[in-house]
Structure 1
Amino acid sequence: MVSGVLDPVLARRAGMTSALLAAWPQIVPEMLVETTRPQKINWPRRAHEDDPFKPATLVVAAEGMAALHLQHQSGEIIQRVNAFFGFQAVERLQIVQKTVAPVRKPKRRKPPVNPADERRIEALTGTIEDEGLREALARLGRSIKQEGH
């Protein structure tokens, strides 16, 4: 559903799809996954519909030394991007050196501890004299129950 909404926006603004962003970790070597990110695809302008197709330039953001590694491996990355698209879509990489924000995974909300388990945790930890230890063990018990154990 999200890609259905984002793909038209990405296509209009950056000339690419969310599928390329999602596939980026499989396209680039593992050492470049966290420090590079495709930004946009610059498709050459065509004056007429009859003009022959020309491959695009993929603009990639890279941090520090990742830019050098990306440049060194650009031929292989271009081949992998073209394999992803299924045709000769990209002819060259343009590297923009800038900070790349890490991909954030949404935090999973843990279910609340049911009242029976809460009472059991309180009963087990209630006799512990040290308040800090008692609270730490109670938090540990709640965390274990929230994980479904």
Structure 2
Amino acid sequence: MAKPAARLVNAVLDPVLAKRAGLSMALVDAWPEIAGARIADCSCPLKINWPRRTHEDDPFEPGVLVVAADAMAALHIQHQAGEIVSRINAFMGFQAIARVKLVQKTVTPAPPPERRARPLTDAEKGRIDALANDFDDEDLREAVRRLGRSVIAERPRH
């Protein structure tokens, strides 16, 4: 069975990110839900700075999440820092983050995912044509056909 490419890439990148930045792709992927879509378009988590432990018996201390953000997003993150920390800790399942540190720089938003319409079956095309044939105006008929094709093509097959 084929695996999605993202799952394979995450399997390779997660250990590297965890070792280098103390960050997982799951947190990066969930950033829009954690910070909100508007803030996430202009920011991204870079790394988690974990406090150094001098001895293995030292108690665990939460880390600092370093976030790159545009000027306006940085301002919003600064005002919502407490809520963002709470959401991250809820996402992680433990008290992982104590605070957010902002690094101001330009962040380009990720391109929206490309949506591909699936091909229509002959039965679906026939149903759309039958509905469109009820209209007298040819331009309206064609518009209804285009609309019907785009709506049905976005639905999964049953």
| CA RMSD, 1 decimal | 2.4
Equivalent residue number for residue 50 of structure 1: 57
Equivalent residue number for residue 85 of structure 1: 92
Matches of 2:112 and 2:53 in 1, distance apart? 39
Equivalent residue number for residue 27 of structure 2: 20
The worse-fitting range, judged by mean Cα deviation, of 41-50 and 26-35 is 26-35
Matches of 1:29 and 1:109 in 2, distance apart? 26
Residues 95-149 of structure 1 deviation map (CA, whole Å, 9 limit, x = unaligned): 00001122135657899xxxxxxxxxxxxxxxxxxxxxxxxxxxxxxxx8xxx7x
1:36 matched to 2:39? The reply is no
Q: After the TM superposition, which residues 66-145 of structure 1 pair with which residues of structure 2 at under 5 Å, given as runs?
A: 66-105=73-112, 107=114
Residues 64-89 of structure 1 deviation map (CA, whole Å, 9 limit, x = unaligned): 11111110000000000000000000
The alpha-carbon deviation at position 13 of structure 1 amounts to 1.4
Matches of 1:110 and 1:28 in 2, distance apart? 30
TM-score by length of 2: 0.66
* Equivalent pairs, count: 118
Could you tell me which of 5, 9, 14 is aligned with 1:2? 9
The worse-fitting range, judged by mean Cα deviation, of 82-91 and 27-36 is 27-36
Could you tell me which of 44, 60, 80 is aligned with 2:67? 60
SS of the counterpart of 2:11?
helix
The alpha-carbon deviation at position 48 of structure 1 amounts to 1.2
Matches of 1:104 and 1:3 in 2, distance apart? 19
Instruction: Give % identity.
Output: 58
Residues 42-70 of structure 1 deviation map (CA, whole Å, 9 limit, x = unaligned): 00011111110000000001101111111
Q: Which runs of 5+ in 1 are unaligned?
A: 112-143
SS of the counterpart of 1:104?
coil
Matches of 1:57 and 1:39 in 2, distance apart? 11
Q: Which runs of 5+ in 2 are unaligned?
A: 1-7, 119-148, 154-158
Q: Which runs of 4+ in 1 moved over 6 A?
A: 108-111
